[in-house]
Amino acid sequence: MIVEMRTYSLHVGKVRVWLDYYEKNGLAIQERHLGRLVGFFTTETGRLNQIVHMRAYDSFADRETRRAAMMRDPDWLEFLRNEPPGLIVAQESQILQPTGFSPLR
């Protein structure tokens, strides 16, 4: 199993705008394709105006297959096209591998 941690940095004051758009228009599509949402968070200390979400996959190949299918979904492409412009400053993706003693594995 692997966990992908995605971090989005947004312009000041735009976190709620993006979260509202995503919850209404994108979450169900990602759940249909990606599944296994570990958590969805916003930052309160350190770097502010960030959204962090984590999803678990059976393997890197499983992640690639699921994300490729989502990228072919017309609903997801519409979500991307209609996303309010100018909200996201940067995006980072990390693939995490749980240790042998991790509760999540």
Indicate whether 105 belongs to any domain: no
Tens-place pLDDT, residues 2-56: 999 999 999 999 999 999 999 999 999 999 999 899 999 999 999 999 999 999 9
Q: What is the CATH number of the domain that holds 87?
A: 3.30.70.100
> Is 74 part of any domain?
yes
pTM of the model: 0.90
Q: How confident is the model at residue 104 (pLDDT cuts 50, 70, 90)?
A: confident
Is 11 within a domain?
A: yes
Is residue 68 included in any domain, yes or no? Answer: yes
Convert the pLDDT of each residue in 60-82 to its tens digit. Answer: 999 999 999 999 999 999 999 99
In the chain, the number of structural domains is 1
In a domain, 72, yes or no: yes
- Range of the structural domain that residue 15 is part of: 2-96
Contact 16, 83 (CB under 8 A): no
- Does residue 36 belong to any structural domain of this protein? yes
Does residue 103 lie in a domain region?
Answer: no
